[in-house]
């Protein structure tokens, strides 16, 4: 590795997390199931090889499935509060390892160190949430129409939950799923992104230690590595009743069709084309802070990143001037250096998509307001660093309708009533996150009403990114309709059962039907 890695303690972080530099291996825990193609993980920070992971072959996958299936038979019999205790211990381990894991997330994915720490904190938070939930997996009781009968509904574990996660949140999204699935009595098989495999290895090492300490089967948490073909093993496997997949709309449609073909369940968290509406009653200072962080945080590689800023024409020039001034203050560089605001994109393909988007918006008639470009020279050797850009555009441009996973913000103008801005915001196929900046109560309520935002997340006076785990996270339309994390999202990891008990010596039928013998 380079001196950059040494300077920021990556070697030490890897060792602490049980990962030996450039040493292949992937497992369900202490057992190794890995005989497939070797995956090399290069850091977008400096282009250095961090390590290698051996992918999962079809034979390996079958061994993993057998381990998971056997573990489920034991795990589902444990009382839910006991399962919560195991998740509590996992959360405490994450607290102990927050710094090295956050550092690995930053170095392997490219987000800022502060965001890496924040991602691990999300893991800790969902563990805390799940621990409390383990004592609240409640059903309902209903009154029967038949005398001497009682009705109620309860929830039981589904079985094996398959998880496919994306590179941009290489550890948190897995934890959102597993923490809830585990307390529900499910076991999990995780395929992390092939772009961030070492983050998966690190998390698996942590939970494997917790399971071992509690004399529990390692198959409760399983890891498989590889490209989309490994994911296909899960989507087509009848033994997996639920597949949770995070990624692009294109990927989500493939997963949804494969799982639906076998009548399985899918939880989809797909693309976003998130907008902030800025009305004449907005606080401009708050607007700029929210818009800039939303657009450039994680180098624009969040599903909730702000892609569009829809500004009323009466304040358009004022917002534009303040936005351009704010972009001049951005510092781009090594994300482990906490003085920098923006790190690299994940790889060369992401850089190409960024560059193509800027070319296309100009070709469609847009104007580049803040120049983009790929940075070169000292500190930018990986070739993945780009300048956050702003383009004045129109909402119906093809490129604006598309989600570009990069720091490109489209500045759009609306006139007249707020309903015109809402129509623009809703006028895309994605429906993840949305926001309005206004001090007008009527505008805020209109935005949150049934005639307002059509997204799964709608915020007032905050940006589009930065969701808390207490609320259900997810979006509508081609974002997939899935919900993860808080609220009652736990129910998707369980099967619902309605029970009727007759405690009399008679057998009356429902709806007053007579059947006398």
CB atoms under 10 Å from CB of 174, counted, come to 27
Q: How many residues does the chain have?
A: 517
Please indicate whether residue 303 is annotated as part of the active site: yes
Angle between helices 58-75 and 228-235 (to 10 degrees): 40
Helices (H), 134-248: 172-183, 197-213, 228-235
d(CA 323, CA 369): 10
d(CA 39, CA 225): 8
Please indicate whether residue 269 is annotated as part of the active site: yes
d(CA 294, CA 497): 42
Helix (H) or strand (E) holding 412: strand 408-414
Whether 312 and 415 have beta carbons less than 8 Å apart is answered as yes
For 199, the token pair is 């983050």
Quote the longest CA-to-CA distance of the chain: 91
DSSP classification of residue 178: H
Q: Which of 108, 115, 269, 478 is catalytic?
A: 269
Beta-carbon contacts of residue 236 (< 8 Å; ≥ 6 apart): 258, 262
Bridge-based pairing of strands 49-54 and 494-502 is unpaired
Q: Which of 127, 199, 303, 384 is catalytic?
A: 303
Report CA-CA distances (Å) from 339 to 15, 54, 174, 331, 425.
26, 36, 29, 7, 34
Q: Annotated active-site positions, please?
A: 269, 303
């Amino acid at each position: 590795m380079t001196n950059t890695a040494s300077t920021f303690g990556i070697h030490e972080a890897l060792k602490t997390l049980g990962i030996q530099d450039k040493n292949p291996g992937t497992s369900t825990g202490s057992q190794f199931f890995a005989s497939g193609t070797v995956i090399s993980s290069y850091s977008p920070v400096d282009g250095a090889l961090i390590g290698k992971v051996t992918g999962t072959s079809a034979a390996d996958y079958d061994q993993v499935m057998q381990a998971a299936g056997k573990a489920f038979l034991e795990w589902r019999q444990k009382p839910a509060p006991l399962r919560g205790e195991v998740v509590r211990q996992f959360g405490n381990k994450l607290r102990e390892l927050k710094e090295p894991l956050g550092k690995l997330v930053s170095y392997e994915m490219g987000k800022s160190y502060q965001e890496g720490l924040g991602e691990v904190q999300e893991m800790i938070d969902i563990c805390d949430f799940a621990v409390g939930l383990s004592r609240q997996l409640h059903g309902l009781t209903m009154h029967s129409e038949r005398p001497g009968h009682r009705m109620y509904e309860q929830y039981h574990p589904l079985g094996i939950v398959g998880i496919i996660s994306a590179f941009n949140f290489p550890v948190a999204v897995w934890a959102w799923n597993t923490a809830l699935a585990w307390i529900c009595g499910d076991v999990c098989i995780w395929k992390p992104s092939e772009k961030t495999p070492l983050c998966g290895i690190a998390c698996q090492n942590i939970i494997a230690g917790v399971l071992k300490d509690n004399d529990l089967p390692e198959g409760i948490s399983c890891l498989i590595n590889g490209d989309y073909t490994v994911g296909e093993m899960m989507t087509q496997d009848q033994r997996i009743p639920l597949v949770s997949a995070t990624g692009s709309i294109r990927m989500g449609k493939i997963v949804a069709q494969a799982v639906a073909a076998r009548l399985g369940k899918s939880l989809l968290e797909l693309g976003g084309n998130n907008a902030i509406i800025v009305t004449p009653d907005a606080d401009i200072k708050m607007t700029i802070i929210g818009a800039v962080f939303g657009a450039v945080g994680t180098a624009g590689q969040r599903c909730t990143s702000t892609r569009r800023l829809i500004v009323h024409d009466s304040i358009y020039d004022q917002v534009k001037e303040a936005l351009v001034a704010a972009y001049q203050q951005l510092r781009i560089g090594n994300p482990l250096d906490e003085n920098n605001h923006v790190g690299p994109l994940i790889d060369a393909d992401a850089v190409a998509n960024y560059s193509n988007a800027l070319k296309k918006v100009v070709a469609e008639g847009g104007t580049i307001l803040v120049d983009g470009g790929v940075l070169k020279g000292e500190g930018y050797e990986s070739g993945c660093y780009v300048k956050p850009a702003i383009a004045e555009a129109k909402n119906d441009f093809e490129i604006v309708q598309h989600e570009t996973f990069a720091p490109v913000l489209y500045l759009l103008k609306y006139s007249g009533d707020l309903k015109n801005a809402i129509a623009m915001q809703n006028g895309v196929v994605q429906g993840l996150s949305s926001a309005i900046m206004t001090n007008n109560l009527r505008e805020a309520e209109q935005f949150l009403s049934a005639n307002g935002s059509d997204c799964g997340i709608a915020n007032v006076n905050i940006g589009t990114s930065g969701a808390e785990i207490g609320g259900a996270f997810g979006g509508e339309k081609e974002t997939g309709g899935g919900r993860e994390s808080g609220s009652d999202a736990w129910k998707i990891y369980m099967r619902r059962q309605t029970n009727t008990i007759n405690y009399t010596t008679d057998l009356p039928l429902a709806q007053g039907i007579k059947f006398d013998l």
